[in-house]
């Protein structure tokens, strides 16, 4: 599951102006982070005075927009969050009021913005195709939909959404928000070069295709190298199934534009990966045993230096028609991509410089025009994020383990500058290829916006020596945090989070708080008393608490070190009730007969009649249906009678606010089940973890009838009154959650996932 985000170059303008204030309170309970204006050649500056939806003007001095036509406060990107949410979440049946301030919009605003929003999706596919045709266009070469939002001038301003899709579809979506959808793309031609990390990419693509039952172009002999070093002739590969086409090519072959386009459908995405040429040579040197092949008698690390001082003396196959197109040391990446090995003699040491440049630039233009994405080995995680966004895939689709990683002497060999220059002349086209796509790579990253930097793994630190000056620069460093207390609520996705923490602690040999009887529920519904858990190793402290227990501030702080990070996860209360209803079989427990009406509706019509334990001291603090999440977080279940239906509203508000303040003060992050991938991105940043640390599979996911059951508004209101504290808890942290997302965007931001961060 991944993290995607609203992005734009215009964000830099906001940051440069110093508008790094805390995002305002103008947000709603289910609102995503706000997009920002895309700077394009036709829109070279951001109009900071206008809310793009409601036309309100903004005072930059006080950082507050005017309240007309709605009473919202604004945000750093000059658009009311409440206004924007109308068109993103309710475009099927748009409201004429701002859901935040409840002020009615002008009819003209409603009609114009509604019309623009409805037309945006129909044009998104065209925008995607245009972005692929020109990787250096204003879209940064990444296929994304464009949304149009209105200004007071009546003009359309483009905004961009990177990789966000809807979770309701099976085609790789992972968020429950109604994001404008990008279309998952399933056809890939991967021009697999040698010794550049291609096997790792191939494994990603193979897993993706296998899980979706796609058609692979397979070598006829089932030997992966059978399609290499030859182009794709029919005798070398198995035919596609009858009346079907190929979806994926992932094996070694020599790229040939004409041949590829004859075999693969028109909507195929073309990918490849390249590597810094000297590193590439070192890898090839080790893998193919070139010291022995070239009969070089120098010892160890010095053999490659011997070769580089006079490469044409040793490698006589390149450029002379032998084993074409296979060439090991000279422009070998380019040769894999279709550069004629016989042309090596025209671009090598001592050749005509003008002719060499003409040949090289012609080849680069071909690759630039033909490939949607050229990945770079040195920036592998960043490349995968661009791939994920280009293909509209999920975070799970790009998970990987490194394949064929080796340690060898040549990798550590220092190459003197004069010898390095000889190699640059020897492999001139490969160096030109790498430099060109290294530059365009970082342009695409810049075009992706500051949000891009949260999505790759923090373990992949870009090298400042190779990264061009146009890039965003190396990432800020942080220290990995290893101590955490996870207040695990019931039926909110806590087991999935716990498995993430279990794996993190296990691989680092951290100390867990374990139930004394080794039964997970032994510490619940009781608080952390010494008799309920095993002591830590001698002279050591606990590092992790991940099991069910009732949160109590004093007890937690007695047991856990001061630098412990406090986390929990909550869920929309009505969906939480549905899950609880199914898991604990509450229909039977409450003796509700099925008389033609859904039992959960019968319960919601009068919850106090059926669940009589809540607020009466029985099984405290365990309460299944009333403020259950709050009870897990330490809210006294006996207090439920003071906050339930018919109670004194002023007293209820005081009790609720006091509880919310405790949770707000005590917890470093409150995650949201509905925005799970986004929560993991915030977790990853908070803890300074790597992308691998937050990988997960969903656990205990169930399908049940009540999950899809529509609850009438009147019964929803009954539940709000019944579980008032849980609703207040969810609404409060939903608002603060998206403020944190907004703040993360301003600082460096994304999940991810084709998830909206």
Residue 109: the pLDDT is 52
Residue 617 lies in a domain: yes
User: Cis before residue 258, ω within 30 degrees of 0?
Assistant: no
pLDDT band at 276 (very low <50, low <70, confident <90, very high): very high
Residues 6+ apart with CB under 8 A from 623: 611, 613, 614, 615, 631, 637, 640
From its phi and psi, is residue 338 left (phi > 0), alpha (psi between -120 and 50) or beta?
left
- Tell me the two tokens of residue 222: 């089932």
DSSP string, 275-296: --HHHHHHHHHHHTTHHHHTT-
552 with 680, same domain: the answer is: yes
Query: Among 180, 150, 151, 176, which Cα is nearest to 163's?
Result: 180
Residue 172 lies in a domain: no
138 with 245, same domain: the answer is: no
Query: Among 293, 319, 518, 317, which Cα is nearest to 429's?
Result: 319
DSSP 46: -
Which backbone phi and psi does 149 adopt, to 5 degrees? Answer: -130, 150
156 with 202, same domain: the answer is: no
87 with 211, same domain: the answer is: no
Residue 476 lies in a domain: no
Residue 219: the pLDDT is 87
Residue 12: the pLDDT is 33
Residue 473 lies in a domain: no
pTM confidence score: 0.48
530 with 575, same domain: the answer is: yes
Question: Do the beta carbons of residue 433 and residue 732 sit within 8 Å?
Answer: no
Residues 6+ apart with CB under 8 A from 647: 641
655 with 534, same domain: the answer is: yes
Residue 181 lies in a domain: no
Distance (Å, whole) CA 55 – CA 49: 9
Residue 703: the pLDDT is 77
* Portion of the chain with pLDDT greater than 90, in percent: 39
User: Cis before residue 564, ω within 30 degrees of 0?
Assistant: no
More confident residue, 177 or 625: 625
Query: Among 606, 558, 629, which Cα is nearest to 719's?
Result: 606
Residue 317 lies in a domain: yes
Q: Give percent helix, percent strand, percent coil of the chain, each to the nearest 5.
A: 45, 10, 50
607 with 748, same domain: the answer is: yes
Question: Do the beta carbons of residue 413 and residue 301 sit within 8 Å?
Answer: yes
E strand map for 473-602: 484-487, 544-545, 565-570
CA dihedral 321, 326, 329, 332 (to 10 degrees): 110
Domain count, the chain: 3
First to last CA, the chain: 12
92-132 confidence digits (pLDDT tens): 444 555 544 555 655 555 555 454 444 433 343 343 343 33
pLDDT band at 476 (very low <50, low <70, confident <90, very high): low
513 with 398, same domain: the answer is: no
530 with 386, same domain: the answer is: no
Residue 454: the pLDDT is 54
Judged by DSSP in three states, 26 sits in: coil
Residue 246 lies in a domain: yes
Residue 563: the pLDDT is 95
Choice among 271-275, 355-359, 430-434, 694-698 with the minimum mean pLDDT: 694-698
Residue 502 lies in a domain: yes
Judged by DSSP in three states, 669 sits in: strand
311 with 410, same domain: the answer is: yes
545 with 651, same domain: the answer is: yes
pLDDT band at 47 (very low <50, low <70, confident <90, very high): very low
More confident residue, 71 or 298: 298
Question: Do the beta carbons of residue 599 and residue 587 sit within 8 Å?
Answer: yes
Choice among 48-52, 133-137, 334-338, 551-555 with the minimum mean pLDDT: 133-137
**Domain span at 566:** 484-756
Residue 309: strand pairing partners: none
**Is residue 17 over pLDDT 70?**
no
- Tell me the two tokens of residue 656: 């609720």
Query: Among 730, 751, 756, 757, which Cα is nearest to 672's?
Result: 730
67-84 confidence digits (pLDDT tens): 344 544 433 334 554 544
216 with 152, same domain: the answer is: no
Q: Which residue has the tokens 């406090």?
A: 566
Question: Do the beta carbons of residue 264 and residue 187 sit within 8 Å?
Answer: yes
CATH (domain of 529) = 3.40.50
Which of 109-118, 434-443, 585-594, 655-664 tops mean pLDDT?
Answer: 655-664
């Amino acid at each position: 599951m991944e993290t995607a985000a609203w992005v734009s170059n215009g964000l830099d303008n906001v940051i440069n102006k110093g508008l790094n204030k805390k995002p305002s309170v103008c947000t709603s309970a289910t609102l995503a982070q706000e997009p920002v204006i895309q700077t394009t050649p036709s829109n070279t500056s951001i109009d900071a005075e206008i809310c793009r939806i409601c036309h309100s003007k903004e005072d930059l001095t006080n950082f507050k927009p005017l309240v007309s036509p709605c009473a919202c406060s604004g945000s750093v990107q000059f658009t009311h969050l409440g206004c924007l949410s109308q068109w993103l979440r309710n475009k099927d049946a748009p409201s004429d009021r701002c859901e935040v301030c409840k002020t009615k919009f002008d009819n003209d605003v409603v009609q114009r913005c509604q019309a623009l929003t409805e037309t945006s999706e129909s044009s998104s596919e065209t925008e995607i195709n245009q972005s692929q045709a020109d990787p250096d266009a204003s879209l940064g070469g990444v296929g994304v939909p464009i949304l149009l939002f209105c200004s007071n001038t009546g003009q359309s301003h483009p905004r961009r959404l990177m990789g966000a899709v809807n979770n309701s579809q099976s085609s790789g979506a992972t968020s429950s928000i109604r994001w404008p959808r990008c279309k998952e793309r399933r056809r890939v031609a991967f021009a697999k070069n040698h010794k550049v990390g291609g096997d790792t990419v191939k494994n990603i693509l193979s897993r993706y295709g296998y899980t979706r039952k796609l058609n692979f172009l397979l070598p006829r002999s089932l030997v992966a190298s059978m399609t290499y070093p030859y182009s794709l002739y029919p005798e070398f590969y198995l035919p596609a199934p009858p009346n079907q086409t190929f979806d994926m090519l992932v094996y070694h072959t020599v790229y040939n534009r004409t041949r590829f386009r004859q075999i693969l459908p028109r909507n195929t995405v073309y990918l490849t990966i390249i590597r810094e040429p000297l590193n590439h040579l070192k890898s090839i040197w080790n893998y193919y045993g070139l010291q022995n092949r070239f009969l070089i008698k120098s010892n160890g690390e010095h053999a490659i230096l011997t070769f580089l001082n006079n490469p044409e003396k040793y490698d006589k196959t390149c450029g002379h028609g032998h084993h074409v197109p296979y060439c090991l040391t000279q422009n070998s990446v380019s040769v894999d991509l279709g550069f004629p090995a016989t042309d090596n003699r025209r671009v090598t040491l001592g050749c005509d410089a003008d002719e060499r440049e003409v040949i090289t630039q012609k080849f680069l233009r071909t690759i630039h025009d033909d490939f949607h994405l050229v990945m770079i080995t040195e920036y592998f995680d960043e490349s995968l994020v661009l791939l994920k966004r280009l293909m509209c895939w999920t975070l799970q689709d790009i998970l990987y383990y490194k394949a064929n990683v080796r340690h060898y002497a040549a990798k550590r060999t220092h190459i003197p500058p004069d010898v390095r220059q000889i190699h640059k002349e020897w492999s001139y086209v490969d160096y030109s290829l790498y430099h060109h796509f290294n530059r365009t790579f970082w342009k695409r990253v810049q075009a992706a916006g500051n949000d891009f930097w949260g999505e790759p793994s923090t373990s992949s630190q870009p090298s400042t020596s190779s990264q061009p000056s146009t890039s965003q620069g190396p990432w800020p460093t942080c220290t990995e945090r290893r101590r955490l207390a996870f207040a695990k609520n019931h039926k909110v996705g806590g087991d999935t989070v716990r498995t993430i923490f279990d794996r993190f602690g296990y691989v680092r040999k951290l100390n867990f708080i374990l139930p004394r009887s080794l039964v997970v529920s032994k510490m619940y519904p009781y608080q952390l008393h010494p008799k309920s858990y095993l002591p830590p190793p001698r002279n050591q402290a606990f590092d992790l608490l991940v099991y069910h227990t009732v949160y109590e501030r004093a007890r937690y702080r007695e047991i856990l070190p001061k630098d412990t990070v406090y986390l929990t996860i909550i869920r929309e209360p009505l969906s939480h009730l549905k899950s609880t209803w199914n898991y604990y079989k509450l229909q039977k427990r409450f003796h509700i007969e099925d008389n033609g009406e859904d039992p959960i509706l019968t319960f919601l019509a009068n919850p106090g009649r059926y669940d009589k334990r809540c607020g009466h001291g029985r099984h405290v603090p365990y309460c299944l249906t009333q403020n259950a999440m709050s009870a897990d977080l330490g809210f006294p279940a006996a207090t439920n009678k003071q906050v339930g239906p018919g109670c004194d509203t002023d007293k209820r508000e005081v009790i609720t606010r006091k509880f919310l303040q405790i949770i707000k003060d005590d917890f470093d992050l409150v995650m949201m089940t509905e925005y799970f991938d986004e929560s993991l991105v915030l977790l990853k940043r908070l803890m300074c973890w790597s992308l691998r640390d937050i990988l997960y599979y969903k656990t205990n996911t169930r399908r049940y009838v009540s999950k899809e059951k529509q609850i009438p508004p009147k019964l929803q209101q009954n539940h709000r009154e019944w579980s008032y504290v849980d609703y207040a808890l969810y609404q409060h942290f939903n608002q603060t959650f998206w403020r944190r997302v907004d703040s993360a965007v301003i600082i460096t931001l994304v999940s991810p996932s084709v998830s909206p961060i």
